[in-house]
Amino acid sequence: MRKEDLLKPVDSEFIGNSESNLSKVQKINAQILKTGTTTVGLTIKDAVILGTDKRATMAYFIASKIAEKLYRIQDHLWLTTAGSVADCQFLVDVLQAETTIYQLGHDNKPMLVKSAGKMLSNILYQNKMFPFEVGLILGGVTEEEGPTILDISAYGSILPEKYCAVGSGQNFSYGVLEAKYKDNLTVEEGKEIIKKAITASIIRDMASGNGIDIAVIKASGPAERELIPI
């Protein structure tokens, strides 16, 4: 049987009623579990800087004030997450495992950022009929690519960017990024822009808040990480 046949409607009063009830439940759950966040990334001269807020919400309820949204995949490769927490954590685990397996088979050579992005894109695209509810920023630095930022959507699209923002507070962050970003920023200049961008979202977006988590990723060595409580 083809996948398309599984998605065809079936003439059954029982199934019809079940689908109707399920649809109502899904709509209710979607309203109750609606989440928000602010994640931002940008490239600078020799590094990538990623930042997120620390708040996790369920509709108007603040579910966590110390939520983790910035993840180390490898030393040179980091990921920010927005959307369903369970979906994000699953994808982080898979990407960490797959990139580690790749590097072990290639004399620990760092996996290209675009290759890791394509791997993640394939996973998301294969599930697009029932998609992971996520918005991701994959950032890293390799000798071949230099500083690289990829904006990856729930359906698997990959948009290379110099800077981007994802989440419910992204519109407010973009206002700062558009006004402040320029080429060849220093680390301190880049961090200051990230702080201002996320702060702008925290002020206006009630789903964002409770601090700023920042990581500076370079070609070698562990990332420099900073937590700014608010």
| Active-site amino acid positions | 37
What is the distance between the alpha carbons of residues 103 and 22, in angstroms, rounded to a whole number? 44
Paired with 40 in beta bridges are 51, 165
Query: Torsions phi, psi of 108, nearest 5?
Result: 60, 25
Residue 126 near residue 136 (C-beta atoms within 8 A): no
What is the distance between the alpha carbons of residues 68 and 31, in angstroms, rounded to a whole number? 23
Residue 51 near residue 198 (C-beta atoms within 8 A): yes
Of the candidates 41, 43, 47, 39, the residue with the CA atom closest to the CA atom of residue 88: 39
What are the CA-CA distances from residue 130 to residues 32, 127, 222 (Å)? 19, 6, 36
Helices (H), 41-80: none
Query: Torsions phi, psi of 202, nearest 5?
Result: -60, -40
Residue 116 CB partners (closer than 8 Å, separation 6+):
73, 77, 95, 99, 138, 140
